[in-house]
Amino acid sequence: MSLRGFATLNFFADDVAAAAEWYERFLGVAPYYRVPGPGGRPAYVEFRIGDLGAELGLIDRRFAPAGAASGLGGALMHWHVDDLEGVLARLLDLGATVYEPITPRGDGDYVTASVVDPFGNVLAIMTNPHYAEIAARVRAAGLAWSDGESVGAGRGVEG
């Protein structure tokens, strides 16, 4: 048994519609999947993003597992970005607040930063040469995700 790869990152929000709008502005893509909840308001929305079409799900906080932390903390899953300073500036412009400032790691090849989104979730970003190398191989093989289409088979591949 082994972990096969990142599949879905779920964030909780009191107002899923507002969170979906905020992430749509940040990501530049609309959610591809929605589940209505009580009163017709969204209970869950999901975006596909990144080189492999990773899923970012936004869940109504009422459906959080019992005992789920309501404050900041826990593990951080970092999203690779090519322009850490630019992406951090964009997040701050959209109303996020700094959780951890830009921080070089190890020998300085890895650089991280994180913010708290307006809904109380920590969003971590980093430049990671290992990820960039793997992503280049994925793109070269014609398997990168693009525009909400399927991966491979001549659909949704980046050239």
Whole-number Cα distances in Å, 15 to 18, 23, 29, 85: 5, 12, 19, 28
**E strands in 84-153:** 97-105, 110-116, 122-127
Instruction: Identify whether the C-beta of residue 29 lies closer than 8 Å to the C-beta of residue 49.
Output: yes
CB atoms within 10 A of CB 149: 14
pLDDT tens for each residue of 46-98: 999 888 888 999 999 888 877 776 777 666 788 989 899 999 999 999 999 99
- Which residue, 51, 80, 81, 82, is CA-closest to 152? 51
Q: Do 16 and 84 meet the contact criterion of CB atoms below 8 Å apart? A: no
Total structural domains in the chain?
1
- pTM of structure: 0.75
| Residue 46, in any domain of the structure | yes
Per the structure, the complete domain to which residue 108 belongs is given by 8-62+76-140
CATH number where 19 lies: 3.10.180.10
- 145 domain residue, yes or no: no
Establish if 135 belongs to a structural domain: yes
